[in-house]
Amino acid sequence: MTNQVKIFDTTLRDGEQALPASLSVKEKLQIALALERLGVDIIEAGFPVSSPGDFKSVQMIAKEVKNATVAGLSRALPADIDACGEALKVADQFRIHTFIATSDIHVSNKLKKTQEDIVEMAVAAVKHAGRYTNDIEFSCEDAGRTHIDYLCRMVEAVINAGATTVNIPDTVGYTTPTEFGGIIKQLFNRVPNIDKATISVHCHNDLGLAVANSLAAVENGARQVECTINGIGERAGNCSLEEIAMILQTRQAMYDLNTNINSKEISRTSKLVSQLCNMPVQSNKAIVGSNAFSHSSGIHQDGVLKAQNTYEIMTPESVGINKNHLNLTSRSGRHVIKHRLHELGYKESDYDLEAIYAAFLKLADKKGQVYDYDLEALLFFDQQKHDQAYYQLTYLHATSGKEIIPSATVQLKIGDDIVTRSETGNGPVDASYKAIMAMLGHNDLEVVDFKLDSKGEGADALASVSVITEYKGRRFHGIGLATDIVEAGVKALIFVLNNTYLADQIDQQKHQQDRVAGV
């Protein structure tokens, strides 16, 4: 048996079924090209008979993708298969994927047919697909709840009819790993022509077992895994591509199995899918969550600083993330504080570690995460002084609406001066930010992240804005809270500006100290 596991991506088909808003043809193509770069073997681009838009996007993807097989899904009906054949025929390599449910629950309640009818429809569908291509996949929908004798009979029949891949879906995520692995094992033991097809699996995550079940299937001989980026898909989603790929890569020594996935493309692809699909990734999601390579507690941070593999089983670089993050929290210890200060350019002789650590703990207990600037400020300032803000908001007027150009007038007290500026923008927050940036007289400040949240419930909830900016190589974090979204955004930026002002003062003090020391 081959040790190559094919990765069949169904982000654009099963994943797309569960999106909050539909994707345009252009967005689908963008995702398909990212999947091609990632190295997936098969891209399931859509369900061509379902709508003219889906037909068009499958056709467009079939035309543009060169280094992966493009597949389309169809029911076991001639018209569906014809639509697939038509949409895909422009491709260099294409696959028709046809399916019908095989469990008693689906056959009698949904399809309202007999088991005999279903075998006949399946065989006829595979033969019909043969008019267009030799690359035919057949799926036994709800195989996880199908009687094993009937499943064996169906698999044998569709392989005889010409299916080159037979997919065994756990459509409703019902099975457990031992059980699902057992189904695959029985198919290999009982279906006489099983060696004529690739056995594929397609697991859903209703009980959180999609990846574990797919792995159990691979352990028992499946050599294609159907999955989606970030695990998106119907209900609780599908097997997550990045997880199954990284399991096989990280545990290569145990499984001796390979995929064609270029794991360094994982992070970038995950971000693209999350953004275009408007599906945020939970921070603790394996491989691609923002916390997946972050360490927050002192013992872990100390370990990782001494040897990365103490708490990292794969490197962030291997999935395309620059480096890990060591979050400074009240659970952090002295090692990481020393390390971060060293990264920020301070020598141990510049500070008293015990004093800084005590001040840091107090701040972290109050604030949660402590950012670079906060830490530096502990070296230079008494925390109380932070409240004497250099930048203060004295007036804000913003307008927005349908068919008007958003604009904002902002007035700030900057030191002893009052400065007013008006700008237009893409929205009222953008206009306000432009007005403030114009007042600064430099463009060293870049907003790299802007998050809006609500505190409380209902329309009168408080708006909470969290902004991360980069300024002269350092990251600054600001938060703003107000009943008005624009005001909250402006407050968050002013919070940052006050910290950048203090950071500039720190730099000046450092230069003076260096001059005195003759450095």
Ligand X SMILES: CC(C)C(=O)C(=O)O
Ligand Y SMILES: CC(=O)SCCNC(=O)CCNC(=O)[C@H](O)C(C)(C)COP(=O)(O)OP(=O)(O)OC[C@H]1O[C@@H](n2cnc3c(N)ncnc32)[C@H](O)[C@@H]1OP(=O)(O)O
The reply to whether 23 sits near ligand Y by the rule CB under 6 A is no
Q: Cβ distance 460 to 483 under 8 Å?
A: yes
Question: Which one of residues 135, 141, 170, 302 is an interface residue with ligand Y (CB under 6 A)?
Answer: 141
Task: Tell me the β-bridge partners of 407.
Answer: 399, 424
Q: Which residue is nearest to ligand X (CB)?
A: 169
Q: Which among 458, 10, 20 has a CA at the least distance from the CA of 274?
A: 20
Dihedral Cα 430, 431, 435, 437, nearest 10 deg: 20
Nearer to ligand Y, 98 or 464 (CB): 98
State the nearest-atom distance from the C-beta of 202 to Mg ion, in Å: 6
204 is in an annotated binding site: yes
The reply to whether 205 sits near ligand X by the rule CB under 6 A is no
Pairing of strands 198-203, 165-170: parallel
Q: Which among 65, 490, 38 has a CA at the least distance from the CA of 241?
A: 38
The reply to whether 167 sits near ligand X by the rule CB under 6 A is yes
Q: Which residue is nearest to Mg ion (CB)?
A: 14
Number of residues interacting with ligand X: please give it, by CB under 6 A: 10
For residue 274, what are the contacts with CB-CB under 8 A and spacing of at least 6? Answer: 230, 280, 281
Distances in Å between the alpha carbon of 180 and those of 94, 145, 175? 29, 10, 6
Select from ligand X, ligand Y, Mg ion, none the partner in contact with residue 77, using the beta carbon and a kind-dependent cut-off of 5 to 8 Å.
ligand Y
State the nearest-atom distance from the C-beta of 175 to ligand X, in Å: 12
The reply to whether 171 sits near ligand X by the rule CB under 6 A is yes
For residue 154, what are the contacts with CB-CB under 8 A and spacing of at least 6? Answer: 102, 118, 119, 122, 140, 146
Nearer to ligand Y, 59 or 259 (CB): 59
For residue 228, what are the contacts with CB-CB under 8 A and spacing of at least 6? Answer: 9, 10, 11, 14, 15, 237, 238, 239, 240, 241
With CB under 6 A as the contact rule, which of the stretches 34-42, 166-174, 270-278, 317-325 interacts with ligand X? 166-174
**Strand segments (E) across 317-427:** 325-326, 391-399, 407-414, 417-424
State the nearest-atom distance from the C-beta of 112 to ligand Y, in Å: 7
Question: Which one of residues 6, 8, 13, 14 is an interface residue with Mg ion (CB under 5 A)?
Answer: 14
State the nearest-atom distance from the C-beta of 144 to ligand X, in Å: 9
State the nearest-atom distance from the C-beta of 203 to Mg ion, in Å: 9
Binding residues among 422-451 for ligand X as defined by CB under 6 A: none
Q: Cβ distance 72 to 136 under 8 Å?
A: no
Question: Which one of residues 8, 55, 94, 99 is an interface residue with ligand Y (CB under 6 A)?
Answer: 99
Alpha-carbon distance of 498 to 504, in angstroms, equals 10
Select from ligand X, Mg ion, ligand Y, none the partner in contact with residue 128, using the beta carbon and a kind-dependent cut-off of 5 to 8 Å.
none
14 is in an annotated binding site: yes
State the nearest-atom distance from the C-beta of 76 to ligand X, in Å: 11
Task: Compute how many other C-beta atoms are within 10 angstroms of the C-beta atom of residue 226.
Answer: 32
Binding residues among 105-134 for ligand Y as defined by CB under 6 A: 110-111
Alpha-carbon distance of 137 to 159, in angstroms, equals 9
With CB under 5 A as the contact rule, which of the stretches 13-21, 277-285, 417-425, 441-449 interacts with Mg ion? 13-21
The reply to whether 366 sits near ligand Y by the rule CB under 6 A is no
Alpha-carbon distance of 375 to 345, in angstroms, equals 12
The reply to whether 50 sits near ligand Y by the rule CB under 6 A is yes
The reply to whether 202 sits near ligand X by the rule CB under 6 A is yes
Question: Which one of residues 32, 34, 38, 47 is an interface residue with ligand Y (CB under 6 A)?
Answer: 47
Select from ligand X, ligand Y, Mg ion, none the partner in contact with residue 76, using the beta carbon and a kind-dependent cut-off of 5 to 8 Å.
ligand Y
Select from Mg ion, ligand X, ligand Y, none the partner in contact with residue 206, using the beta carbon and a kind-dependent cut-off of 5 to 8 Å.
none
With CB under 6 A as the contact rule, which of the stretches 59-67, 149-157, 165-173, 271-279 interacts with ligand X? 165-173
Q: Which among 205, 245, 247 has a CA at the least distance from the CA of 225?
A: 245
Binding residues among 10-69 for ligand X as defined by CB under 6 A: 14
State the nearest-atom distance from the C-beta of 278 to Mg ion, in Å: 20
Place of tokens 């499984």: 255
Binding residues among 84-143 for ligand X as defined by CB under 6 A: 99, 139, 141
Nearer to ligand Y, 24 or 512 (CB): 24
Alpha-carbon distance of 229 to 35, in angstroms, equals 9
Q: Which two tokens stand for residue 29?
A: 């193509």
**Any idea what DSSP says for residue 313?**
S
Dihedral Cα 13, 17, 20, 21, nearest 10 deg: 60
Q: Which two tokens stand for residue 165?
A: 């891949």
Q: Cβ distance 481 to 467 under 8 Å?
A: no
Q: Which two tokens stand for residue 308?
A: 């990365």
Binding residues among 451-480 for Mg ion as defined by CB under 5 A: none
CA 285 to chain centre: 8
Binding residues among 56-95 for ligand Y as defined by CB under 6 A: 75-77
Nearer to ligand X, 80 or 141 (CB): 141
202 is in an annotated binding site: yes
Q: Which among 491, 488, 503 has a CA at the least distance from the CA of 452?
A: 488
Q: Which residues bind ligand X (CB under 6 A)?
A: 14, 73, 99, 139, 141, 167, 169, 171, 202, 204
Q: Which residues are annotated as a binding site for Mn(2+)?
A: 14, 202, 204, 238
Q: Which residues bind Mg ion (CB under 5 A)?
A: 14
Q: Which residues are annotated as a binding site?
A: 14, 202, 204, 238
Q: Which residues bind ligand Y (CB under 6 A)?
A: 14, 17, 47, 49-50, 75-77, 99-100, 110-111, 141, 171, 234
